[in-house]
């Protein structure tokens, strides 16, 4: 009776199965890498703006409070982008002929708002409220990173769901006193494990189950 398969058929079959498994694993790793890379998340990517505004200079150097430009952050879901009149409060007197500020002067002259590009932009199916986070003791730099050391603004975190859930599952790790929410130099104290639960109790951040409920962020 003639042999139907070549003697090396078993080896070829095993090699083929191994190649398929390894190929699927490699494809999964590549997909995960792309999903978590700055290509997909925009983390670390500087967005082009009509004026190259430096937070390092204005916040770190001059000490301007976040709320001066983002004036709705304590009352609204949206932190707000600065109107031209906010810029002109200073720049009608300072650097009045600087070429870099020409778009600001043109906006003021024509009444056409500056078209700032949002750096932190969430999908439409995600609900986020700045005011509630501020009220509960979540600091600006906790989410936005060291803005006082950013010559040009970029997104510090991935903004992916796992990043949000890391805080929502154990918020006490990230809370700070309300008076320090807008501080860019605040550092968690050595006794954060004691202070965090104390602040969570004080600011009524108790129901962790509701914080991780889908409908909290997806409405």
Instruction: Tell me the per-residue pLDDT of 119-158, one tens digit each, with 9 for 90 and over.
Output: 999 999 999 999 999 999 999 999 999 999 999 999 999 9
Residue with tokens 């500020």: 101
Q: What DSSP state is assigned to residue 206? A: -
Which of 150, 216, 146, 213 shows the shortest CA–CA distance to 185? 146
Residue 30 has pLDDT above 90, yes or no: no
Q: Are 212 and 165 in contact (CB under 8 A)?
A: yes
| C-alpha to C-alpha distances, 152 to 48, 56, 84, 90, 156, nearest whole angstrom | 9, 8, 19, 20, 12
* Cα–Cα dist 79/82, whole Å: 10
* Reported pTM: 0.83
Q: Once rounded to an integer, what is the mean pLDDT over residues 59-68? A: 97
* Cα–Cα dist 31/37, whole Å: 10
């Amino acid at each position: 009776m003639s042999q139907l398969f070549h003697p090396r058929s078993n080896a070829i079959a095993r090699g083929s199965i191994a190649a398929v498994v390894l190929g699927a694993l490699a494809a999964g790793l590549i997909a995960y890498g792309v999903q978590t890379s700055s290509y997909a998340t925009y983390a670390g990517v500087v967005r082009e703006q009509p004026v190259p505004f430096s937070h390092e200079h204005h916040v770190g150097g001059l000490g301007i409070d976040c709320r001066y430009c983002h004036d709705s952050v304590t009352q609204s879901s949206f932190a707000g982008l600065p109107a031209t009149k906010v810029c002109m409060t200073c720049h009608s007197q300072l650097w009045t002929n600087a070429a870099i500020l020409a778009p600001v002067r043109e906006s003021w002259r024509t009444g056409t708002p500056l078209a700032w590009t949002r750096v932190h932009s969430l999908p439409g199916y995600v609900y986020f409220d700045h005011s509630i986070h501020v009220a509960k003791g979540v600091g600006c730099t906790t989410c936005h990173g060291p803005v006082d050391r950013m010559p040009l603004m970029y997104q510090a975190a991935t903004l992916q769901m796992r990043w949000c859930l890391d805080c929502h599952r154990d918020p006490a790790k990230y809370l700070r006193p309300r008076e320090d929410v807008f501080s860019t130099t605040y550092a968690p104290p050595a006794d954060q494990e004691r202070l965090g639960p104390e602040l969570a109790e004080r600011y009524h951040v108790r129901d962790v189950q509701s914080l991780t409920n889908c409908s909290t962020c997806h409405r």
